[in-house]
Amino acid sequence: MRLLKNESKNAHPIEACALLFGRLIDEEAVVTKVVVTPNVLRSSVRFEADPQTVFNVFEQAEQEGLDFVGIFHSHSAPAHPSVFDFQYMRLWGEAVWLILSSADGGVAAFQIVKGDLQKVVLKVE
**Where along the sequence are the contacts to Zn ion (CB under 5 A)?**
82, 85
Phi, psi for 87 (deg, rounded to 5): -65, -45
Smallest gap from residue 108 Cβ to Zn ion (A): 11
Smallest gap from residue 44 Cβ to Zn ion (A): 10
- Cα(122)–Cα(27) distance, rounded to whole angstroms? 10
Taking CB atoms, the residue at the shortest distance from Zn ion is: 85
Active site residue 62: no
Q: What are the C-alpha distances in Å from 21 to residues 17, 32, 76, 91?
A: 13, 6, 24, 18
The distance in angstroms from the start CA to the end CA of the chain is: 7
Question: Closer to Zn ion at the Cβ: 32 or 82?
Answer: 82
Smallest gap from residue 72 Cβ to Zn ion (A): 10
Catalytic residue among 15, 27, 48, 62: 15
Could you list the active site residues? Answer: 15
